[in-house]
Each structure stands twice: as structure tokens, then as C-alpha cells.
Structure 1
Amino acid sequence: MAFEFINGFHDTANAVATVIYTKAMPPKQAVVMSGIFNFLGVLLGGVGVAYAIVHLLPVELLINVNTGHGLAMVFSLLSAAILWNLGTWYLGIPASSSHTLIGSILGVGITNALLTGIPLAEGVNWQKAIDIALSLVVSPTAGFLAAALLLIFFLKRLPLSKMHKTPETRKLVDGKKHPPFWSRLTLVLSAMGVSFVHGSNDGQKGIGLMMLVLIGIVPTQFALDVNSSTYQIERTRDAAIFLQQFYHANESALLQQLSTGKTNGADMPNKFRCELEQTQATIGNLLSAINNVRDYRDLAPETRSQVRRSLLCLDDTAKKISKLPGLAKRDKDDLAKLRKDLTSTTEYAPIWVIVAVALALGIGTMIGWKRVVETVGEKIGRQGMTYAQGMSAQIVAVAAIGMANVFSLPVSTTHVLSSGVAGTMVANRIGLQGGTVRTILIAWVLTLPISICLAGGLFWLAVKLFN
């Protein structure tokens, strides 16, 4: 909850920065509006991004989240993210909560590999990390270029329009406080859009972390979605049977290709590991546990935890099978669908978790918005932001983050919007304030290594204390 509250300082403040700075809406109305649309974004956005973040962690930590190692993991990555976010917010730097969180997760995964003897290649889901890193790099670059091109379009089509005035110029020349009607309407609607897509992207990260905490503290209640339908349970069972047949056909090739992927961590009980040789036994245990089960509430509490471990291990196995050289595209597609069925009853979030995350985001926005709004509105360019620049940056942010949501990729609202503003400043031939841009870039570059080291150090310390 604290992480999401501080996320409101950083990322949600960007959603209202332009609409407040251009005086399209009063601050109080803007943050209330942002809170409502963040809430709707979190509520309607699903959990794809939430578990894209969670699955950056090695499967061994995910299945042991209710042990000392697992709780230390959650504590360390959240504490590191909170500390860095607070520091950058205090300085008014639009740093990325997404970068911070991902760096913290990588730090925990790397340290866990060093502590337990897991190869570094297996300590983190590196393919997922690369995909997310690319989305975090590409999205602000695309935001910069797209916002610049959109502003150039406005300049060419409507060169004398009042939309190209700053709020100060509008007041001095026209004697009016607010933007022209159509500019104001576009700013307000696009701000609603930014808030909505922010909620459905950044808000989901908090949902994933909240579920890790709940599974760690009360595994018997939250290990599985007890509201799963009989149909979902049947699909899970069918997926396990299909994987059993597929694994049997490819067992020797899989073990030969991925023999280095065994987890030999001395600190983890054997039954909690995802060793490839145990896949058939894991499938057998799962089928035995859920055979003829129509409602997960009928399972004993400890059985629910064991079913979750089995499902996560089998999902990991299916992922490894899909990487076999020479595997037909048809088989890879089947495995991708199979993995969704295997995790459909473990990747979920109760409605109260979604509401709590949305409220934390909204309250954080209302308290801490001012520092970031001033930076985005006044300190990126050499003069204040015009209405057209605010519109261009926000429209592009809605499109970029919305597309990321479609593909379940976490992106940084901070970087997309602030880079969009910078792009409009360059397109308008205003130029950038070197000091502010350098500070933002330094924070961008340092966020990952600092959060990796901070989370890794806290995790190492916590593990030693638990032991």
C-alpha cells in the first residue's frame, strides 16, 4: 500500500501535470478526476501486467513465498522501491516507479541465485526482463518522436491558433485564465485517458505485489482463486494431462537441453523445487489432488498451497519445453494456451485488492502532485508548456500506454509523458533546460543499478536475519 501511495506521487502526478499546468482544470478537480479514472483503469484492466511483473522473479521464490525466503523477498523489493521513489520525489525528479520496481525484482533474483547456488542464468526470468526493458526503452523514445510529430502537424495545420499559447501568454494577451474551449476539452479528455491507462498499467504492478504479500502471509486463503468455476478447474486438469503427454514425448530432449536449469539451492526443501526430473511426479500429485474436485473450497488448506506450487512448476516446465530447438510453431502455440490454462486459477486478484490499490494511488496523487507538475510544466523546456504541447504529449501517452496494456507490457507513465513534453519542446524550437534534462536522464540511468543493489543488499541482510 505504501508503494502504491508513493507511486501516486510519481506516476499519477504525471497524468494530471499538463491539465493542471495549462489551467484546463483546477488542481483539486484534476486529482479527483484522476483518482476516479485510475480506479476504473485498475478495475477494468485485468491482471496481465500484474503477473508480467511477478514472473520476473524465479519460480523457486514464487512457490516458496510463504517461507522465510519468500517473505524476505517481498520485504526487500518493496522497501528498496519505496526508498528510491521517496528520494527522487523529494527532489522533484520524474523518476520511474516501473524502473525502480523492476530493478528491485532483478536485485532480489540475482542475490537469491548467489545465495542458493542457482546459475545466474536461472536466477531471473531474463527473457521476460529483456521484453520489459525493451518496452521501457522504446516507449519514451516513441513518445518523444510521436509527440513532436503531432505538434508539428498542429503547427502546420493551425499555425495561428490560440492552442499555441502558454497559460501566461493567454492571460496577458487575451485576459483569460483558461484555454480555448476545444483545447481545454481535448486536454481534459486526454488527461482522463492518461489516468485510465495508468491505472490499468502501473496500478496492476501493485496488485501483483499485494497478491505476493497475501499468499506469503495467508497461503491457505489466497494460494488459489477459491471462486474459480468448475469449468476453469476442468481446463486446468485437462492442461496438466496434455502437458503430461507432451512432456513424455520430449522428456529426453528437454533434460539434455536444459540440464543446467536444475535448482540445487541448499536452503530450499526438495519438495518445493521445480526439478525437471520430477515433472511426471508433479503432474501425478496435481491430478491426484484435484481429481473430481469441482470447487477449490473443498480442498484442505495445505492441499491448496501444494496445488499452487505444482501449477507454477508445471507452467515453468511448459515454458522450458517451448524453448526446445526445432519445436513446431503449432506445438509452441498449444503450449502457450496450455500455460494460460495452468495459471488461470493462480493469477487472480480479489476485488478488494484492486479497490485498495486504486485508492492508494488516488490518495498519493492528491497529496504529492505539486513537485512533479512543476517539473513537467515549467522545467523541461526553456519556456512554459503551450496548450498544443500538453495535448500532443497526453494524446501520445494514452496511445503508447494503451498499446502496452494490450500486450501486457509494463511501461513508465513518467518517462512516456515527460519525453513527450520534451519532444514537443524540441519540435517547437524552444529548446530544453539542460539541467533538468540531465537530472532526469541521470535518474533514468541510475534507477536500475541503484534499485538492484539496494534490493539485493536488503534481501541478503533479511535472509541472514531469518536464518
Structure 2
Amino acid sequence: METALVVVVVVFALGFDYTNGFHDAANAIATSVSTRALTPRIALLMAAAFNLLGALLGTEVAKTIGSGIIDLSSEAGIGTEQGLIMVLSAVVGAICWNLITWWQGLPSSSSHALIGALTGVGVVAGVTVHWQVILDKVVIPMVVSPLVGFALAFLLMVAVLWIFKNSSPHRVTRRFRIAQTASAAGMALGHGLQDAQKTMGVIVLALVAGNFQQTTDIPLWVKLAAASAISLGTYSGGWRIMRTLGRKVIELDPARGFVAETVAASVLYTTAFAFQAPISTTHTITSSIMGVGATKRLSAVRWGVAGNIAVAWVLTIPAAAAVAGIVYLALRGVTGV
């Protein structure tokens, strides 16, 4: 029974990773596609490849998810089956919210959906929830990273406009369109570094709950499985959200697309390696797009669309927590655990 539950949890976790890939594919490539720097299919192939590479570059974020949100170790007094059902409920809750926001074309955060789902299950089950870790590595970065992304993108775009103010617009556009290939690759690498690690953390959480391992170290097969799943999901595309990020927030040109991607990727790398914080790639790239758009004029940003995105951001953690809590109660009722 326990082994079967672990297998089910791993399968659902990889399913979440897959939805993360097609849900967040827009994060890496929407700006490049909308500026015609890359064709959609080439952009997806490149994003899938760099997601795979990025997923193998580190484990710091995975360890935060695997041990920092809720405590399912044997020392916490949680039964094996109960712990596995908790992890399964969290993954199902996160998948449900991903699918809802994908259907609505809203670039919400898969990361926060997963963290919210784990928190919701922990609260309903009455286990230890590490609120200080959630505050330090989720809530504060959730607020700070979009602000940093917006400000840095705005300032860098102002600098680019000043540097190239006397250059030929046609030549500048062509050069930045080429440069966007590199910035989109960097964004995809950062997405893999951040988001695939979150699934690794969930799988390790299940392995610990099922007594298959005692530490939060990430086995190689977990890294490869999570990296492959998010890459396949990315390649399948996320056209609804891509349209929102690439066209509905602001009409992007290659220079603004390059700056937005470069800033967002830099924020992703910094938070992953320096702070081990599982921040949202969605929040970071969206705020960077708004930052470069604001250099035209504030009215150039479609603030109504931005407001709808902000509502999805605010709702993600509590909504995913509620869904996961309901799933947990239902599974407990069915299994009698």
C-alpha cells in the first residue's frame, strides 16, 4: 500500500511538473515570439532544452520545498500513509489551480500554487507548518521580486534608450532581435533552475514520508525525471498565457523584450543561488515587462489586464490551499487513514 502510494504521488508530482511546463512556457518565450525574434516552434524547442539544463544546475530551491514548508518526517509523528496522502493532496490542489488559471489565460504562479497547497494541507492536517520559512522565503520574495523586476527593467530600458538614441531604429531592432535569442535562453534556464526544483522537492517529500530515504538529498533519478517532465510540458506550449504576456500587457519591441528577459533571468538566478528562495518566474517576467513598458508612458501598460493578473497572484496561495485541504479531507474519508 505504501509503495503504491509513493508511486502515485511521484506520478502526480511529475504531472504537476508537466502542467508547470506548459503553464509557464510563456514566461520564457512570450516576449521573443511576440517581437518575432523567434518562431513559436523554435522558441518552444529552445525553452524546453534550457529548462532541462537549468533543472540540473542546483538543488537549493528543492530542499526548501522538500523540508522547509511542512514537516512530514517520522520524528513529527506523522503516519506513513497520512504523510503520503498529504503530499498527494497538495500536488492535486496545485494542478487544479494551474489548470484553472491556464484556461483563463492568467499567468499565475505555479510555485505559489504548490506552496499554498502544501501549506493548506499542513493546516488542515494539523502538522507543523514552518511559517517563518514561508515568510522569509516565499512571502517577502513574492512581494520584493516583482518590485525589483519592475524597477530594474525600467532603469535598464531608460539606459538602453539613451545609449541608442542616435542609432538607426532599423539596425537597433535587428540587433536586439538577435540578442533576444540569448535572453530567452537565459530566461528558460532560470525557469528550469527555479520551477523544476520545486517538483524535485515534492518527490523527496514523498520519499521521506514513505520512509524510502531519511534526508532531503535529491537523487539523480528525481532530477532527471523532474527535468524531463517540465521540458516536455514546455514543448507542448502555453498559447493562452503567451498571448496575455506577449501582447495584452503591452506591445513589445525587441529592445524591450531583451531587457525584460535579461532582468527577469538575473532575478531568478540571484534568488535561487543566493537565497534558496522559490520565487515565481511568472511574477518576475510580468513585472519586468511592465517595467520596460512604462518607459514609453504609463498609459502604454494595459493596467486593466495587469490588475486581472494581480488578482490571480493574490488568490493563488489561498485558493490552492483551499483546494488541497478539501482534497485531503476527501482522500482521508475514502481511505480511512
**Which residue of 32, 36, 51 maps to 1:38?**
51
Q: Distance in 2 between matches of 1:55 and 1:202?
A: 16
What is the aligned partner in structure 2 of residue 466 from structure 1?
A: 335
User: How much is the aligned-residue C-alpha RMSD, in angstroms?
Assistant: 2.0
- Following superposition, the deviation at residue 216 of structure 1 comes to 4.5
Q: For the structure 1 residues 355 and 348, does the alpha-carbon distance in structure 2 shift closer, same or farther, using more than 3 Å as the test?
A: same
**Per-residue deviation, residues 159-207 of structure 1 (Å, max 9, x unmatched):** 25466xxxxxx7xxx9xxx951x31232111111111111111110011
**Would you say 1:419 and 2:287 are equivalent positions?**
yes
Q: Distance in 2 between matches of 1:162 and 1:87?
A: 45
Give the counterpart letter for 1:464 in structure 2: G
8 Å Cα contact 1:65-1:215 kept in structure 2: no
Higher CA-based Rg: 1
**Per-residue deviation, residues 40-97 of structure 1 (Å, max 9, x unmatched):** 111122x2101101223432x2336772211110111001100010010111111100
8 Å Cα contact 1:56-1:126 kept in structure 2: no
What is the aligned partner in structure 2 of residue 78 from structure 1?
A: 91
What is the aligned partner in structure 2 of residue 92 from structure 1?
A: 105
Q: For the structure 1 residues 200 and 136, does the alpha-carbon distance in structure 2 shift closer, same or farther, using more than 3 Å as the test?
A: same
- Following superposition, the deviation at residue 457 of structure 1 comes to 1.8
What is the aligned partner in structure 2 of residue 197 from structure 1?
A: 190
Look up the SS of the partner of 2:294 in the other structure: helix
Q: How does 1:349-388 map to 2 (within 5 A)?
A: 349-381=218-250, 384-388=251-255
- Following superposition, the deviation at residue 149 of structure 1 comes to 0.8
Q: For the structure 1 residues 55 and 213, does the alpha-carbon distance in structure 2 shift closer, same or farther, using more than 3 Å as the test?
A: closer
Q: Distance in 2 between matches of 1:32 and 1:395?
A: 19
Q: How does 1:99-118 map to 2 (within 5 A)?
A: 99-113=112-126
Gaps spanning 5+ residues in structure 1: where? 164-169, 224-307, 309-345
Give the counterpart letter for 2:265 in structure 1: V
Q: Distance in 1 between matches of 2:168 and 2:205?
A: 50
Look up the SS of the partner of 2:196 in the other structure: helix
**Per-residue deviation, residues 82-130 of structure 1 (Å, max 9, x unmatched):** 00100101111111001111111110111122xxxx6xxxx31011000
Q: How does 1:309-324 map to 2 (within 5 A)?
A: none
What is the aligned partner in structure 2 of residue 438 from structure 1?
A: 307
What is the aligned partner in structure 2 of residue 48 from structure 1?
A: 60
Q: For the structure 1 residues 191 and 66, does the alpha-carbon distance in structure 2 shift closer, same or farther, using more than 3 Å as the test?
A: farther
Q: How does 1:8-407 map to 2 (within 5 A)?
A: 8-45=21-58, 47-59=59-71, 61-63=72-74, 67-113=80-126, 123-131=128-136, 132-161=138-167, 179-180=173-174, 182-216=175-209, 219=211, 222-223=212-213, 308=214, 346-381=215-250, 384-406=251-273, 407=275
8 Å Cα contact 2:83-2:206 kept in structure 1: no
8 Å Cα contact 2:67-2:205 kept in structure 1: no
Q: Distance in 2 between matches of 1:73 and 1:373?
A: 32
TM-score normalised over the length of structure 2: 0.89
Give the counterpart letter for 1:375 in structure 2: T
Q: For the structure 1 residues 65 and 204, does the alpha-carbon distance in structure 2 shift closer, same or farther, using more than 3 Å as the test?
A: farther
Identity %: 37
Q: For the structure 1 residues 58 and 102, does the alpha-carbon distance in structure 2 shift closer, same or farther, using more than 3 Å as the test?
A: closer
TM-score normalised over the length of structure 1: 0.65
Gaps spanning 5+ residues in structure 2: where? 1-13
What is the aligned partner in structure 2 of residue 258 from structure 1?
A: none
Q: Distance in 1 between matches of 2:243 and 2:46?
A: 19
Q: Distance in 2 between matches of 1:97 and 1:162?
A: 41
Give the counterpart letter for 1:358 in structure 2: A
Q: Distance in 1 between matches of 2:45 and 2:168?
A: 28
Look up the SS of the partner of 1:427 in the other structure: coil
**Per-residue deviation, residues 132-153 of structure 1 (Å, max 9, x unmatched):** 2111111011101110111111
Give the counterpart letter for 1:363 in structure 2: L
Give the counterpart letter for 2:252 in structure 1: M
Which portions of structure 1, spanning 4 or more consecutive aligned residues, are displaced by more than 6 angstroms? Answer: none
